[in-house]
Structure 1
Amino acid sequence: MVINTETTLVMRCPECGRLERHRISSFSLVGDRSSLRINCSCGALKLLLTIRGKKVNLQVPCVVCGARHARLVNARTLWLSGDIDLFCQATGLELGHLGSEDRMRDRACVDEALDELDFMADSFFHNREVMYAILNHVNNLGRAGRLYCKCGNHRIEVDIFPDRLELHCSRCDNLYIVYAETKEDLDAVGRIWKIELVGHTFTHLGQTRKTPPQP
């Protein structure tokens, strides 16, 4: 029998925005070591783990609201079960994930692919932190089957602009705009649990703009 003693953190740095994977061993929290800091390669704190009896307290600096969120989990869940979501308690948007190396590699692949694109430079987005958080949320909705068109198409195309995402159904040309540059946009996205493209109309989510964006 193989007993797993590691978990993997996939999280974007709240300071520099870099996406990294960190392997964490349970042996790092035994004996006199009751706490463990996981830092980005830039030096910023990403996760603080502290032993609380048979539980582990997870503290996460939030890239979305600026607070430090805490979550108490069973040690058995952390090291054996895996797949723990870390999220902003103010908006509900996901910040990172803990789980097995294989699962976390899959979780990171979309974000890593985006990081390789030239337009992901800091100067491209109006608000990098808001865009990263909303991209992550929309991606999670798609993985959960909660991003789709009313025509039945679940393969929704996503075009990324400096201030918004444009979700497009290639089957019937429905369009859904998700704005991604303000705190109001984050709040709006954090309240939804699904996105459905409906009818041949322009629909938007987020802070109201004067006119629909042009291609």
Structure 2
Amino acid sequence: MLLGGVVCSMAFYCRRCGKIHVHDVPYFLGVKRFSLRCAGCAHEQAVLVRGDRKCWEIHVPCVACGKEHVIRLSLAQLRRMELEKVYCSADCFELGYIGQRRRIEELLAFNQAEFERLHPADGANFIGKQQILLEAVNRVHEFVAAGDVVCPCGSHDFIAQVGGDSVFLECSHCGRSAVIPAESEADLRRLLCGSSIRFLAPMAHNKR
């Protein structure tokens, strides 16, 4: 039992390992900034900042767009909240949930059941697939930041987005694009070898 009670619960997908855990947020944080860390690898998932006038900020680093999303809510809103999904505002990539622990756990169980229904031979890999996708996004960001990805036009400037089981790269200079599969371990190995980034001509991209 947490001293002072629980304001709400939060669950965010870990950007490093892809796992998701439900955290109870205590009313008395003890500090102005409170870090939520992955129970598996200890990577920071989100930071809670308690401001004046009972206003809280939730800072969530986004693997999809590379930016930090800031959610501002009052203490009263957090205590009343049953279940809210947190998305990347750029491409609707799901980052996690805020609300009552029971409601979050029910939704996670429902998501697992739906995945098993749609993929009966692969149900055990629900979290694993999320982990592969996040690892692929992290690798793509690292390659682009290091200048290792070069468009046929010579540009090193790209926009990266997540969609389904793939990572999309688009050249900011000429519009060429690449669709990088990120569904399996084999896809991840090909990406690490640099063999799965093939750019389409701008005209072919526009016709998609």
Question: Higher helix proportion, which one?
Answer: 2
Q: Displacement, 1:125?
A: 8.3
Alignment of 1:120-159 (within 5 A): 120=126, 128-129=133-134
Structure 1 unmatched runs, 5+? 132-177, 185-206, 210-215
Aligned-partner residue type, residue 97 of structure 1:
Y
Q: Find 2:34's aligned residue among 27, 33, 36.
A: 36
Counterparts in 2 of 1:34 and 1:8: CA distance versus 1, 3 Å = same
Counterparts in 2 of 1:15 and 1:111: CA distance versus 1, 3 Å = farther
Q: Find 2:167's aligned residue among 179, 182, 187.
A: 182
Contact 1:127–1:182, Cα closer than 8 Å, also in 2 = no
Structure 2 match to 1:117? 123
Aligned-partner residue type, residue 36 of structure 2:
I
CA RMSD of superposed structures (Å)? 3.7
TM-score normalised by structure 2 residue count:
0.54
**Percentage identity across aligned positions?**
19
Q: Displacement, 1:102?
A: 1.4
SS of equivalent residue, structure 2 residue 9: strand
Q: Displacement, 1:89?
A: 2.0
SS of equivalent residue, structure 1 residue 183: strand
Alignment of 1:1-215 (within 5 A): 5-28=6-29, 33-41=31-39, 42-53=41-52, 54-112=54-112, 117-120=123-126, 128-129=133-134, 180-183=165-168
SS of equivalent residue, structure 1 residue 33: coil
Q: Work out the CA distance in 2 between the residues paired with 1:69 and 1:125.
A: 20
Q: Work out the CA distance in 1 between the residues paired with 2:109 and 2:70.
A: 26
Q: Work out the CA distance in 2 between the residues paired with 1:26 and 1:100.
A: 14
Structure 2 unmatched runs, 5+? 117-121, 137-162, 170-199
TM-score normalised by structure 1 residue count:
0.52
